[in-house]
Structure 1
Amino acid sequence: MAETISSFWGPVTSTIECCEKNYAYSSYIAEFYNTISNIPTILLAFIGLINAFRQRFEKRFSVLHVSNMTLAFGSMLYHATLQHVQQQSDETPMVWEILLYMYVLYSPDWHYRSTMPIFLFFYGAAFAVVHSFVRFDIGFKVHYVILCLLCIPRMYKYYIYTADVCAKWIAKLYVATLLLGSLFWLCDRVFCKEISQWPVNPQGHALWHVFMGLNSYFANTFLMFCRAQQRGWSPKFVRLFGVLPYVKIEKPKSQ
């Protein structure tokens, strides 16, 4: 939502604005709630990263958690400035992250192991170059949704072949947070004019960030469990502070 308040970053140059008053709390932060709502994603990714390091999971999972953190930082920069160059720091990592998920999901059964990472790397690099010159709007959303849909068949395969009850609950939480987050995002986009007249703005886009932070954590945790099962590491779920689930493994002594 554009405002006439002067800002540190100058006029808005991004192609997308959310249903939040600009510079309502600080001349340095364009969308306050949309900026700080990325903090839970960073914290959850950091917890996942520590667990991956501590138990010596494969490097792909450390990179995955770092990717979540990078995306959250990029989103903070974008919403804090509403500049086009920072919008790229949000949207380009989104594509890179989903390409990384595709690698984690499909690589265990991929016969030509070197071809997948090479293809995904050049695909991500090409997108970054094109995106630096072309201002995508609807095209970016369609492209991103298609990439996400390509991940669904393998996620579902992991779900149906996993007998562990807790793992299935994590997968269901992944789906639930995705649906709830998408609902809040959609309402923020479609009903902004009506929401702006309410006494209190529910900050739908900020809630999208919170739910997607949880969604990413549940996705990573479920995939770590499934991969540990493939490697014969006897995974089980334990809870941090009795609340947040994470995977604990027992590697054979030979590993």
Structure 2
Amino acid sequence: MTLFDYPPALPHNHIGYWGPVTATIDWCEENYILSPYIAEVVNSFTNFIFLLLGAHHLYSTIKNKFGYLYIFISIGFAAVGLGSFLFHMTLLYEYQLMDELPMVYVTALPFGYIFAWNSSKKLKWIWGLGTFITTLLFTYIYIFIYRNPEFHQFFYALLNFGLIYKTFNVANEKVTDLKAKKQIYKILILAFSLFAFGFLIWNLDFVFCPNLIFIRRNHLGLPFGILTEGHGWWHIFTGFGIYYFILYNQLLCTWMHDMQDQYELVWFGIFAEVRLKKDKKIN
């Protein structure tokens, strides 16, 4: 099955082009094996899925007049991919933050918005300011006090589960058409399933890392060994999971603003957009 052998393993203390590893986490892909200039080639270039899908959402958001919130979300989606590319390319701590912090910020935006929605002006300010201060506090703690990636993962998961919980409740309240409700829930289930499956592969990559490296080097070789880079698959499945989750939120947003009759979900292959049928903007 092997077409090409992997290059010889580098010593554990090897220092690559970008200098010593300063990130608080390293991955199963062997560093600088495939390129002297890119620490983790597969983990780096699989981030292009975030850039491409983020660009598509940005174009669709502007074309279909979804407003500034989704413009920021789309840009943040792409920014996660750029930060993650730089992180895996260099394994430097400053680029690790460019990967991890945008993940939090792009989730905090819709989190604050959905919890403030349909509230009094005072509560909207409380939710908006509270989300901002909490996120700022997390950033300070994570950078200066407790640099544990599990802390980041916990806070990020908390934001996501809170967002899913609230949007689910809003959908139950606002979406009165049974067919539309099933459609919205199907997209939510699809998004969550892709994210969860990617997370499973990521964890298997951690647990079985030595075994995976052995299989790549002794049985698969190149290019087939690339298919066993679990963190790269995490990027791909997570990218599509976020893509569909944004679609889910956009569909729900049309119902939240009583504009569901002016929008439709249009599929083209595995991609889709919530398309405007009439020229009216969601504020």
- State how far apart, in whole Å, the 2-side matches of 1:97 and 1:254 are: 22
- Superposition map of 1:28-67 within 5 A: 28-67=37-76
| Cross-structure match for 1:20 | 29
Is 2:241 the counterpart of 1:230?
Answer: no
Q: Contact 2:66–2:281 (CA<8 Å) still a contact in 1?
A: no
The match for 1:213 among 220, 232, 239 is 239
Number of residue equivalences = 254
Root mean square deviation of aligned Cα = 2.3
Of stretches 87-96 and 181-190 in structure 1, the one that deviates more from structure 2 is: 87-96
What residue in structure 2 maps to residue 176 of structure 1? 193
Determine which of 271, 274, 278 is the counterpart of 1:244.
Answer: 271
Secondary structure in 2 aligned to 1:10?
coil
Answering whether residue 129 of structure 2 is matched by residue 118 of structure 1, we say yes
Shifted more, 188-197 versus 204-213: the winner is: 188-197
CA distances 1:131-161 after superposition (whole Å, capped 9, x unpaired): 2223223322223222322223113324545
Amino acid across the alignment from 2:265? F
Moved more, 11-20 or 122-131: 122-131
Cα displacement (A) at 1:6: 4.4
Aligned residue number for residue 166 of structure 1:
183
Verify the 8 A CA contact 2:264 2:274 in the aligned structure 1.
yes
Conserved 8 A contact 1:185-1:208: yes
Q: Normalising by the residue count of structure 2, what TM-score does the alignment of the two structures yield?
A: 0.82
Query: What residue is the counterpart of 2:6 in the other structure?
Result: none
1:154-196 alpha-carbon deviations (Å, 9 max, x no partner): 1332454543143332112112101211111110111112212
8 Å contact from structure 1 (residues 2, 21) kept in 2: no
The answer for unaligned runs of 5 or more in structure 1 is none
Higher mean alpha-carbon deviation, 228-237 vs 68-77, is at 228-237
The answer on whether the counterparts of 2:42 and 2:229 sit within 8 Å (CA) in structure 1 is yes
Name stretches of at least 5 consecutive residues in structure 2 with no aligned partner: 1-9, 217-224
2:111 is the alignment partner of 1:127 = no
Contact 2:142 2:152 in 1 (8 A): no
How many Å apart are 1:73 and its aligned residue? 0.9
Residue identity opposite 2:150 in structure 1: I
1:143 partner letter: F
One-letter identity of the residue aligned with 1:20: E
Which residue identity lines up with residue 145 of structure 1 in the other structure?
A
> Residue deviations 1:95-142, cap 9 Å, x none?
212212312432323332222222222222232233222322332222
d(CA) in 2 for partners of 1:10 and 1:126? Answer: 31
- 1:69 equivalent in alignment to 2:97: no
SS of aligned partner of 1:248: strand
**Amino acid paired to 1:38:** N
Maintained 8 Å contact 1:187/1:204 = yes
Range 221-230 or range 119-128, more displaced: 119-128
| Amino acid of the structure 2 residue aligned with 1:184 | I
Q: Is the 8 A contact 1:35 1:80 kept in 2?
A: yes
Moved more, 65-74 or 109-118: 109-118
**Kept after mapping to 2: 8 A contact 1:88/1:131:** no
Contact 2:47–2:82 (8 Å) recurs in 1: yes
Q: Which residue is equivalent to 1:98?
A: 107
**1:4 CA drift (Å):** 5.1
Alignment partners' CA distance in 2, 1:133 and 1:107? 30
* Equivalent in the alignment of 1:157: 169
Give the one of 177, 193, 196 matched to 2:210.
193
3-state secondary structure, aligned to 2:258? coil
Q: What is the TM-score normalised by the length of structure 1?
A: 0.90
Larger radius of gyration: 2
